[in-house]
């Protein structure tokens, strides 16, 4: 199913994972998509203030690695939304584990709540 062989640094699954999402931004984008955000502006407006060039770069890489899918939700003008693939959604246990660790050792942190994004006309949210 996946055909991305030849691992960059080693065949360790952790290493391989970090080669995909081991940076300060990628998992935050995954988090936002998991919470129901879909559009570029939604992602830009998160409280961490990601720079637009970084966001564009990460969205491209996430498509290449198959964690997200980009689709036009309208034409004239073309507007795009980003949705998690199954492979992307499968990162939920990773995010949950990080949240669990964070909440335990930094009790002042607060978990973000899913968007009530009825405007997206989507039946279910993660």
The site for DNA (CB under 7 A) is made up of: 23-25, 39-41, 44, 49-54, 56-57, 59, 70, 76-81
Partner from DNA, its own copies, none contacting 59, C-beta within 5 to 8 A by type: DNA
Given 41, 75, 110, 121, the residue binding its own copies (CB under 8 A):
110
Half-sphere exposure of 47 (CA within 13 A, CB side): 4
Instruction: Give me 98's structure tokens.
Output: 């990080």
Q: Is 118 helix (H, G, I), strand (E, B) or coil?
A: helix
Alpha-carbon span 68 to 81, nearest angstrom = 10
Least Å distance, CB 14 to DNA, is 15
Alpha-carbon span 9 to 40, nearest angstrom = 32
Identify which of 26, 14, 78 has the alpha carbon closest to the alpha carbon of residue 34: 26
| Nearest CB to DNA, comparing residues 61 and 89 | 61
Give the binding site for its own copies (CB under 8 A).
Answer: 2, 4-5, 7, 9-19, 22-25, 27-28, 31, 46-49, 87, 90-91, 93-106, 108-112
């Amino acid at each position: 199913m996946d055909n991305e062989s030849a691992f960059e640094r080693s065949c360790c699954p952790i290493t391989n994972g970090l080669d995909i999402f081991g940076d300060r931004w990628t998992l935050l984008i995954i988090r936002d998509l998991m919470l129901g955000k879909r559009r570029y502006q939604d992602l830009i407006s998160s409280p961490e203030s990601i720079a637009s060039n970084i966001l564009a770069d990460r969205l491209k890489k996430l498509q290449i690695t198959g964690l997200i899918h980009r689709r036009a939700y309208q034409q004239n003008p073309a507007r795009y939304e980003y949705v998690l693939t199954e492979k992307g959604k499968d990162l939920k246990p990773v995010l949950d584990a990080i949240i669990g660790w964070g909440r335990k050792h930094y009790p002042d942190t607060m978990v973000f709540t899913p968007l009530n994004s009825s405007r997206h006309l989507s039946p279910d949210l993660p």
